[in-house]
Structure 1
């Protein structure tokens, strides 16, 4: 395999995350390998990049997971062309490791089409992440009950949470069939038996020469992930490659990318210290997050239940953030941790009135993420300005994207690992009150029951 060059210190990898929590998962994967990396909340300009020289990985945290194909057609081509202009051999459209999506919202197939149109060549699809208990065998996805948890493994269409996802339920485990609902381009699977053969590169090239537009690689253990990395690196040596899938892309490519820098890896510290106070904004209906809220309630955190139906119905009322911020600020006087939540699981009594409020307003269920997430972000910004809070946490993949945007975050850099797939990051922002604040962004499926305590304390096992 010919080596991949890095002219002019260009990035080696660019990625666009379809939501913000998933974007920090990709950031952790490259930063933990020792690669200088930055995650921007909008496509960076040359002036933005000049402020952070020497980056090996440049990410953009997006919101396409909760967007329509029409939105993608408008927004993604320019974003992908801007990333292509950075000259990296790899560009990754980062999806959730559960790959949940639908033809009408978060359409991964449409995003893959746009990427292929911009970059050319076949789209390589890597979804398995063994370290996060996500496994792809013969193009079929399996996942643990919780992200990086020790629970039983389920085929994704039988997963206790993902088969019931309120917006993008997963009712098909074969990723070839799942993607075929979202694109008419030719999809093939390239399974582990072929990946591990000596002629794997030639066999993959033959599939692509025969007309494969999207190739799904298996990934379920160290050997298959190493084979993924080798096959991707071989493709990247010939021409820039557009990739789709989970942070398995970053974990597979990391050894190759570190070698390409020509520099010793810059490894982050293994742990971080505690915070005096922590505010968690929860926009997730996941039963995993439900258990985390219950743990917080039992361990001295203050809980504030947002009136979501009223927030949707009176979404133009500019006083919502100030009112919520006052509640949070008052709770911080007596509690080290405060949880502001929009639901406590899939049976929360607020859900039905909220859906009705959306329907009365002519909105889709998926619009709740932007409305509620945006109000949560404005609330956090007011709380930070009023209290000097130095650590916050966002829980919920769809809503967190909108929460982070409303906060006014410009970019994120990883400080230290904390939760699997959800590292502690430092906010970069023009607002001096926000700049330097620490943040953890986790999806609804991430973390054990005590993960809010882990984020407050800086590590697991010590409660306050």
Structure 2
């Protein structure tokens, strides 16, 4: 195998495909696995520059996270990848009790020999900006929404599981780890990379624009030197490293992608509580999509999906209707992500096994990891950039009905109101149209 440049572990499936997109756009040959790949699996892909693991730690307790992350990080360390990245949501969704980023940092410190663990705070390409340690976020990714301080964000401040009540990421993460947290701010980023340093166990790094990211990529490579560097942050890590590797001609960026064509019918399964997703569902309904509403409370209480739901979805798909399956306005907070995501995945799997769809959208960060597992997806490859942060992918599976299925994983904050129409049309993002 080639020397691996990067291995990343995503805390959910939607965020993992986000990281996959940015490293692939930088020109890396990469695959996203659903579990840390064995040496034998990696040997099947000798041309890989990078790989990812789509985890589910965003919805777990710290003790559950530790049981998963310590062996996962050891496995990833053994691959020899120069950079090991724990990929989190660009709005740092987490708390001391659920999806603790601090616990992930502590696990990384146990496995890797970093003097300091870098935490990248911003991702300008997704409308996330970190200035003097405070995170600001646009309302919606890939949209023209307004920018808010995180603790005043109309959606993130009201997240049903991990509401954002603090915009200073040092204070936010300080509730999740006992390690001291320093800061490299936008003023320090004006210095030559050799002069940028921080002596704390964790260093948060500001990012306001892509010029900052290029310097951060250079700085991270300097920190890695001849050893592995463990880092934490959004897909800004992939963008920063990719930009640096492009400049040094380690990788050649990809600007043209084959058009994937239209998908008719399109199936959308959504466990998202985001008002952005709600807006997208309303738009799709007004433009010809049919909806099937499931009883999320019953599913999460009884663990059973009624057969009538499968029948309704499959009948509509047979009629060439575009279908959105979601929980409706009656969904309550703190439902089981595992039960709900599994039920949604079973719906998509049943439709694929009847050859009713070629493309499926899975919406909702917390539920996506469980939906993918229920669909028997083992890994995905990126096909094309559609909406920034949510690429169109091809599923790899031992289930022949799932293998080759086109899948799109959408986080709650991703996309403009016509998102599902864009995915149905397969329109390529920005200047990548071919």
Tell whether 2:317 aligns with 1:332. Answer: yes
Q: RMSD over aligned Cα, in angstroms?
A: 1.7
CA contact (8 A) 2:379 2:397 kept: yes
Does residue 174 of structure 2 align to residue 180 of structure 1?
yes
Mean Cα deviation higher: 276-285 or 144-153: 144-153
Gap change, CA 1:57 and 1:321, over 3 Å in 2: farther
Match of 1:444 in 2: 412
Match for residue 376 of structure 2 among 398, 408, 418 = 408
CA distance in 1, matches of 2:238, 2:306: 37
**2:283 matched to 1:295?**
yes
Matched, 1:250 2:238: yes
What is the alpha-carbon distance in structure 2 between the residues aligned to residue 239 and residue 446 of structure 1?
Answer: 35
Task: Give the count of matched residue pairs.
Answer: 428
Specify the SS of the correspondent of 2:143: coil
CA distance in 2, matches of 1:425, 1:257: 24
Partner of 1:105 in structure 2?
A: 98
In 2, Cα distance between equivalents of 1:190 and 1:138: 8
Alignment of 1:27-426 (within 5 A): 27-121=20-114, 122-198=116-192, 200-204=193-197, 207-208=198-199, 212-258=200-246, 262=250, 264-265=252-253, 269=257, 271-315=259-303, 317=304, 320=305, 322-343=307-328, 348-351=329-332, 365=334, 368-426=336-394
Counterpart Cα distance in 2 of 1:233 and 1:87: 15
Change over 3 Å in CA distance of 1:261–1:61 after alignment to 2: farther
C-alpha distance in structure 1 between counterparts of 2:9 and 2:206, whole Å: 22
Separation in 2 of the partners of 1:159 and 1:120? 36
Equivalent residues of 2:242, 2:251 under 8 A apart = no
**Cα drift, residue 313 of structure 1:** 2.2
Could you list the runs of 5+ residues in structure 1 that have no partner in the other structure?
1-7, 356-364
Distance 2:208 2:148 in 1: 14
What CA distance in whole angstroms lies between the structure 1 residues aligned with 2:42 and 2:253? Answer: 20
Q: What is the aligned partner in structure 1 of residue 18 from structure 2?
A: 25
Per the TM alignment, residue 241 of structure 1 is displaced from its structure 2 partner at its CA by 0.7
Q: Offset of 1:23 from its aligned partner?
A: 0.2
Deviations 1:303-345 (Å, cap 9, x if unpaired)? 0000112112221x4xx274432211111133431000023xx
After superposing the two structures, state which structure 1 stretch, 111-120 or 18-27, moved more: 111-120
Residues in 2 aligned to 1:430 and 1:173: alpha-carbon distance in whole angstroms: 43
Q: Judging changes above 3 Å, is the alpha-carbon distance between structure 1 residues 460 and 430 closer, same or farther for their aligned structure 2 residues? A: closer
Residue 223 of structure 1 deviates from its aligned partner by: 2.0
TM-score by length of 2: 0.95
What is the CA-CA distance between 1:263 and the residue it aligns to?
6.2
8 Å CA contact retained: 2:27, 2:251: no
Residues of 2 paired with 1:32 and 1:277: CA distance? 28
Distance 1:260 1:435 in 2: 36
Compared with structure 1, are the counterparts of its residues 83 and 267 closer, same or farther at alpha carbon in structure 2 (3 Å cutoff)?
A: farther
SS in 2 for 1:431: coil
Is contact 1:12-1:89 (8 Å) kept? yes
1:387 match: secondary structure: coil
Deviation string 1:171-213 (CA, Å, 9 cap, x unpaired) is: 0000000000000001001111112212x43341xx22xxx11
Residues 278/290 of structure 1: CA separation in 2 closer, same or farther (3 Å cut): same
Q: Is the 8 A contact 1:147 1:445 kept in 2?
A: yes
How far apart, in 1, do the equivalents of 2:251 and 2:89 lie?
31
Any idea what SS the aligned residue of 2:371 has?
helix
User: Structure 1 residues 78, 284: CA separation in 2 closer, same or farther (over 3 Å shift)?
Assistant: same
8 A contact 1:34–1:268 mirrored in 2: no
Distance in structure 2 (CA, Å) of the matches to 1:407 and 1:222: 37
Superposition deviation, residue 272 in structure 1: 2.3
Matches of 1:152 and 1:186, distance apart in 2? 33
Aligned counterparts of 1:251 and 1:174: Cα–Cα separation in 2: 23
Rounded to whole Å, the distance in 2 between the matches of 1:223 and 1:379 is: 44
